[in-house]
Amino acid sequence: MVVGVISSLRELGMALRSRALSPVEHVAEVLQRLAADTHNAVVTLDVEGASAQASVLADELARGQWRGPLHGVAVGVKDLFDVAGLPTRAGSDVLRDAPPAGADAPVVARLRKAGAIVVAKLHTHEFAYGPTGDVAATGPARNPHDPTRITGGSSSGSAAAVAAGHLPLALGTDTGASVRTPAALCGVVGLKPAFGRLPTDGVFPLSETCDHVGLLTADVHSASVAWDVLSRPGGIGGGIQPPGVAGVRIGIPVGDYWQAADPEITAAVAAAVERLRAVGAHVVEVRAPMIDELAATYGPIVGAEAYATHAVWLSERPQDYQAVTRDRLGPMAGQPAREYVEALRTMRRLVPAFREAMGEVDVLVLPTTRLRASPIGVPTVEICGVGVPVRPALLGLTLPFNLTGWPALSVPAPLPAGELPIGIQIVGVRAEERGVLRVAAALDRS
């Protein structure tokens, strides 16, 4: 009898379908691991509900019924998503008395229909408004590679739980960095699909212009399996993208904006590009002269939309916010509406120009972040004798692709044991999610 957490959805799905592993055993083991978690990744465990669902799914397998590759698989959900019977607290004391949700968010319902078992709500940076993962009512999430360092955010618990081997799959959200940055810092795979590809209904909002639902897994094949299921409303999947990148046109963004602060990140991305070139990809340099102007629209857009959500609570209950969140939201009260509208108009003008500047490339390859996981609570770190502000360094290379709405993924670079993870970002310009996953798979195998 196979017992224990299997991080690969391929192996886990085979074990469950063959009944070498029962969903009941699998879920019991996952719940035990999550209960003993030392990374502050877990907010709420649904022991009763998950165990009951596991029994139902085990009975289905015994009758020869199989819902697809997620049948019987334990999954975690960032605590921004509504999960029926559990409160959504979004990492904040503002929602400490939130009642249990009456229904699943549609994307959670899609997981359940596919046979996945929701076992836990997972840590989030407060209201998803930050890329570090160390600001929440329950305290900071801790990186499984070094518990003194951040996980990245805001899908902090989702990345930590997958990186620690507790779960094979977790849902997250990504408004500027929040799936890809924690994936990079924790050494897992994080996929942000194209804007609107997964529904955001039932998910606490940060910015309706930039919010995306995404997922985190331990490897690219698992991400491909999960995406194949989630991207189909029926939840049954339709086949994984074939391997190989021969003839794929890869763009390497050049210019000061795209530079990493950590030279080892630069070296890791260069090595990844050479591996792709060696297996048949066509590599060209690309320039985006509008990138600074485009990136500058992010703050006014996200800040204004976030403030609109929180204005009443901020005026009535400011003490219930974490100080960092309150200090970020407060100044937005004085932003003129004109600045928000101008930022939106500038974004809409520049996104087509950005795409045109990319020419005929299928994907971009670049760093996910400008630095690796920094110490918890430290706003600036020194790299090569230069002080680097942490938050902008975790956001700068990912946020452009929330403004464009293009699909993007972070995959870990191969590194010696004991080194902090580095993320390589693959962005779809002409390629859709399956094309991005195809390029990531080539790196995952090399």
Residues 261 and 185 in one domain: no
* Domain boundaries, position 269: 249-289+349-445
Residues 63 and 162 in one domain: yes
Residue 439 domain flag: yes
Residue 148 domain flag: yes
Residue 340 token pair: 């928000």
Catalytic residues: 78, 154, 178
Residues 46 and 152 in one domain: yes
Residue 255 domain flag: yes
Residues in the chain: 446
**Mean per-residue pLDDT, 270-287:** 98
Residues 263 and 213 in one domain: no
Residues 60 and 142 in one domain: yes
**Mean per-residue pLDDT, 244-270:** 97
CATH number of 261's domain: 3.90.1300.10
pLDDT, tens digit (0-9, with 9 covering 90-100), for 387-416: 999 999 999 999 999 999 999 999 999 999
Write down the pLDDT at residue 444: 83
pLDDT at residue 216 greater than cutoff 80: yes
Among 100, 92, 116, 232, CA closest to 171: 116
Counted domains in the chain: 2
**Mean per-residue pLDDT, 106-131:** 98
Place 240 in a pLDDT band, splitting at 50, 70 and 90. Answer: low
pLDDT at residue 5 greater than cutoff 60: no
Residue 217 domain flag: yes
Q: Rounded to whole angstroms, what are the CA distances from 416 to 58, 297, 412? A: 40, 38, 12
Residues 261 and 221 in one domain: no
Domain termination residue (choose one: 182, 201, 230): 230
Strands 212-217 and 282-286: unpaired
**Mean per-residue pLDDT, 126-132:** 98
Residue 306 domain flag: no
Among 109, 94, 127, 84, CA closest to 171: 109
Residues 205 and 279 in one domain: no
Write down the pLDDT at residue 234: 59
pLDDT at residue 317 greater than cutoff 70: yes
Among 151, 145, 93, 157, CA closest to 120: 157
What mean pLDDT value characterizes the chain?
95
Domain termination residue (choose one: 186, 201, 230): 230
Are 434 and 241 within 8 A, CB to CB? Answer: yes
Residues 358 and 441 in one domain: yes
Residue 340 domain flag: no
DSSP three-state, residue 208: coil
pLDDT at residue 206 greater than cutoff 70: yes
Residues 18 and 143 in one domain: yes
pLDDT at residue 125 greater than cutoff 70: yes
pLDDT at residue 28 greater than cutoff 90: yes
pLDDT at residue 241 greater than cutoff 80: no
Residue 234: alpha-carbon gap to chain centroid: 23
The conformational region for residue 139 under phi > 0 = left, psi -120 to 50 = alpha, else beta, is left
Residues 265 and 125 in one domain: no
pLDDT, tens digit (0-9, with 9 covering 90-100), for 36-71: 999 999 999 999 999 999 999 999 999 999 999 999
Write down the pLDDT at residue 236: 54
**Mean per-residue pLDDT, 152-178:** 98
Query: Rounded to an integer, what distance in angstroms lies between the CA atom of residue 68 and that of residue 228?
Result: 11
Residues 181 and 111 in one domain: yes
For 438, counting Cβ atoms within 10 Å of its Cβ (0-12 exposed, 13-18 middle, 19+ buried), the class is buried
Q: What is the DSSP string of 346-372?
A: HHHHHHHHHHHHTTT-SEEEEES-SS-
Are 75 and 217 within 8 A, CB to CB? Answer: no
Residues 223 and 366 in one domain: no
Are 272 and 363 within 8 A, CB to CB? Answer: no
Query: Rounded to an integer, what distance in angstroms lies between the CA atom of residue 127 and that of residue 90?
Result: 5
**Mean per-residue pLDDT, 342-368:** 98
Residue 119 domain flag: yes
**Mean per-residue pLDDT, 169-194:** 98
Write down the pLDDT at residue 238: 54
Query: Rounded to an integer, what distance in angstroms lies between the CA atom of residue 203 and that of residue 53?
Result: 23
Write down the pLDDT at residue 1: 28
Residue 299 domain flag: no
Q: How is residue 330 annotated by DSSP?
A: G
